[in-house]
Structure 1
Amino acid sequence: MSPTVDHYRIVPELTVPDYASDTLKGIVSATRKAIQANVDNLGAGTPARAPKFVKLLRDNKLIDDKNQSIATTNHNETVSALRDIEASMDANDEGVDSSTYGTYSVAGDTYDDIERAVNQLQGTINDAMKAPGPSVDPTGKQYWPESVEGPLRTACATAAATVEQRMRDAATDIQRHADHINNSAPDNPISSGYGGTTAPLTTPWSGHSYVPPADASTIDKIKGFAANELGVTEIGTNHVNRPYNIDDAWCASFATWVWKQSGIDVDWSNKNYVPSVWSDAAGKGLADSDMSSARPGDMVVFGGQHHIGVVVARNGNTITTIEGNSGDAVRQHTYNLASGNFTGVIHPPAKTPANV
């Protein structure tokens, strides 16, 4: 590894005895360089750019398509291929922008998994040094026979493949995190983006809990729980001192909380993420893209699935909604169904037991 390259975190060294073959030494060295390059890309928040070391080993016929070691027959060609691979690892690592290290919050957890894979590989090498240990040729020179080095080459490929899979997982997690930021953070419905008007926040939240009357219907409960939250405002960024606080974009958390308080506890895959709620609702037969069917008690999903609220009234061709995280508060809005920007509505289930 070039000493001029800064690293996100240093991958533990991998050591083999002097009597190991040049091929095994080269594969172990290249394995560590590949893992270090993966770690640096992880720290820069770009795991998808990490090198695909296992593919390079396959392309150079050092392992097969099942990551099993292939006995080397041409020493010079193998050594040359390993030098090319190591050069590729160095070039990849030097191309990482170290100024961006640490930009992704879960990188540390992923690194811990990678470090375990490296330590396990070193443990496998150490075990081979103990038993059966080296063989000795007629001249007294120690060496590892193919019966030992073959499995060790496979162990290197397995460790590299484990790291590459963990990097793919990290790339997926980063994309999911980005999608959550981009897709669930609501726009402000006061703007013309959704085609609605808003009632001003004239008074702060009352601070009182809502207790529905004994004879209240489910729809009345939805309207009551939602209206009781009017005036709740953020303290800081995306934080509200209410049960639906998630310290993140909270419009979906608010809407699903209102339903749950009213006796509708749908098993959403992610109750805090608008696209997940809409997708799950579609799968359960609750989603309806025909806005003419909107009625009190429904959830309303806005265009682009960026925002969600609760319908509390229907008057002709207009609906009134109460929405969390609207202008950093719980606010009431009115929309014309013909001119509003909507994805659709989610109707409460016909039957509303504790779990639907």
Structure 2
Amino acid sequence: MTDHYRVIPEFDVPPYASGRLKGTMTATHAAIQANVDNLGAGTPSRAPKFVKLLRDEKLIDDQNQSITTTNHNDAVTALQGIEHQMETNDEGVDSSSYGTYTAAGDAYTDIEQAVERLRGLLKDSVDLGASYTDKGVAYWPDSVEGPLLSACASTMELVEQRMQQASTDIQQHANHIDRSAPDNPISSAYGGTTAPLTQTWSGTSYVPPADASLVEKIKGFAANELGVTEQGTNHVNRPYNINDAWCASFATWVWKQSGIDVDWSNKNYVPSVWSDAAKQGLADSNMGAARPGDLVVFGGQHHIGVVVARDGNTITTIEGNSGDAVRQRTYNISSGNFAGVIHPPANDRTPAPV
């Protein structure tokens, strides 16, 4: 089953609508969902072009007006093909593209408003009821269905324009981050010391004991990855590989393996994780509250790691993408090089250190 960046509820089309309108509404829904999922994946430029396909099939004209056809079966068949193409172009949400958090959020708001306008027009038509033949069979005449068909195309045209703008915004943001963010940070970038990378990854999977606590699981999953190194630029042969800067992917993977599955808008982008955590009441800028099991976010929000130990003013972390590897490091929390920590959700938390 495909994960979705945001789930778009299907349109409630009445049973007396024509097969062509039902097909158009279903294909429109598939197209909107595919576009939204490409937003979540940070790949809006790869979103399918629904309006062009409608025009190619001669289902609408250049002004988005529905073209009347007597062969409804051909129209329905064409729409089923378009719907299938929309679904196969659905990219899902697992991506590391920079800028997805803000650009996707802004674009989604505009798309959501366009969808609600279309949903409102459909509801207004339903509220008017159907016309009836002399045999008592309910149906909608072309005077009702025509505007709805055109509204689907106009809505999708707006969606596609917004996707194009989002593509530009994301690329600009990516360029900015690429110029400002350190790649594969090492201990000298934030202070602290790094434990020598004296052994390669064990190659075995970690299976926590049945009675393991949440913190023990987090420490176990993180420590088991020590020694994982990149094979090529930003590529690791592990489940958290994204072929891009992977510190956030690693940290959120450790949490998820341990049973903490937080709904980040982009789990691969540190500013997104930190901002989402703040909105959910999980972010804490007080480093004095750091404890094992937390995620620690470094200054500038360019890097993130997993806290595995706390000793007075010192924390020990395990971090992905630290000098091209999973490494263990130690820091003095008074160094001032941190944005803060992210605590697990309330029902998973351990007591804060005294």
Give TM-score scaled by structure 2 length.
Answer: 0.55
1:240 pairs with 2:180: no
1:127 to partner: Cα distance: 5.2
1:340 to partner: Cα distance: 4.2
Partner of 1:212: 208
List aligned pairs for 1:306-345, cutoff 5 A: 306-345=302-341
1:172 pairs with 2:112: no
The alignment partner of 1:193 has SS state of helix
* Cα pair 2:251 2:304 within 8 Å, conserved: yes
Taking a change above 3 Å as real, the CA distance of residues 182 and 192 of structure 1, as seen in their structure-2 partners, is farther
Greater C-alpha Rg = 1
RMSD across aligned positions (CA): 3.5
* Cα pair 2:297 2:340 within 8 Å, conserved: yes
Taking a change above 3 Å as real, the CA distance of residues 214 and 174 of structure 1, as seen in their structure-2 partners, is same
Taking a change above 3 Å as real, the CA distance of residues 329 and 226 of structure 1, as seen in their structure-2 partners, is same
List aligned pairs for 1:187-202, cutoff 5 A: 187-202=183-198
* Cα pair 1:201 1:331 within 8 Å, conserved: yes
1:124 to partner: Cα distance: 6.8
List aligned pairs for 1:36-75, cutoff 5 A: none
List aligned pairs for 1:59-138, cutoff 5 A: 107=45, 109=47, 112-113=49-50, 115-116=52-53, 119=56, 120-122=60-62
Give TM-score scaled by structure 1 length.
Answer: 0.54
* Structure-2 separation of matches of 1:108 and 1:216: 44
* Structure-2 separation of matches of 1:295 and 1:327: 24
* Structure-1 separation of matches of 2:187 and 2:331: 12
Point out the more displaced range, 294-303 or 164-173.
164-173
1:168 to partner: Cα distance: 3.3
Which residue identity lines up with residue 160 of structure 2 in the other structure? R
* Cα pair 1:187 1:307 within 8 Å, conserved: no
- 1:222 maps to which of 218, 229, 239: 218
Taking a change above 3 Å as real, the CA distance of residues 118 and 322 of structure 1, as seen in their structure-2 partners, is same
* Cα pair 2:185 2:321 within 8 Å, conserved: no
* Structure-2 separation of matches of 1:249 and 1:124: 42
Partner of 1:279: 275
List structure 1 segments (4+ residues) > 6 angstroms apart after TM superposition: 123-126, 158-162
Which residue identity lines up with residue 281 of structure 1 in the other structure? A
Q: Which runs of 5+ in 1 are unaligned?
A: 1-103, 131-155
* Cα pair 1:186 1:326 within 8 Å, conserved: no
* Structure-2 separation of matches of 1:312 and 1:125: 61
Which residue identity lines up with residue 314 of structure 2 in the other structure? T
CA distances 1:89-120 after superposition (whole Å, capped 9, x unpaired) = xxxxxxxxxxxxxxx9764646x346347643
* Corresponding residue pairs, total: 225
* Cα pair 1:252 1:271 within 8 Å, conserved: yes
